Amino acid sequence: MDCPDCSSTATVKRGLKAGYQRFSCKECGRYFTDRAPKFSAQTKAQAVQMYLNGTGIRAIGRVLSASPAAVLKWIRKEHDILQERIAAQRGTPASGPDIIEMDEIYTYVQKNSSERLSGPFIAEDSAALLPTTSVTKA
């Protein structure tokens, strides 16, 4: 049996899993079984097409009888393949985003309880420096 990852023929039988023969690849170390995949490539392509047309992940899963996690995995895999193709056409590496969005973050630092929490700070010894008004009778 050939390895599905590296296509090597250096595989070894490693017992049974759910009634199917389990194999191990000597080249890449991947474990796999001789069981056929549950979903065809056509079904996976249909899921990606439905997603591109605005159908939700859970709705796609219900229609195709697949879990939402599996549908999300297919979409992410197709996205990675598409990004590699675009990078190959441009001649640039596919790693890293082109645009980074930053958002504001607000933090609260607790003030010391002896300080005033609002209003201007007026020291006790600077009270004499405040302007004063005087009223005189004419």
Describe the crossing of helices 68-90 and 41-52 by its angle, rounded to 10 degrees: 80
Asked if residues 63 and 50 have their Cβ atoms less than 8 Å apart, the reply is yes
- Alpha-carbon distance of 10 to 63, in angstroms, equals 39
What does pTM read for this prediction? 0.53
Number of Cβ atoms within 10 Å of the Cβ of 31: 13
SS3 39: coil
Distance of CA 6 to the CA centre of its chain: 27
Please report where in the chains the tokens 């933090």 appear, as a residue.
107
Torsion of CA 34, 38, 41, 44, to 10 degrees: -150
Q: Which of 43, 93, 40 is nearest to 64 (CA)?
A: 43
Describe the crossing of helices 41-52 and 57-64 by its angle, rounded to 10 degrees: 150
Confidence at residue 19, expressed as pLDDT on a 0 to 100 scale:
86
Question: For each successive 10 residues of the chain (138 residues), what is the average pLDDT?
Answer: 83 88 89 86 93 92 94 93 87 63 66 58 51 54
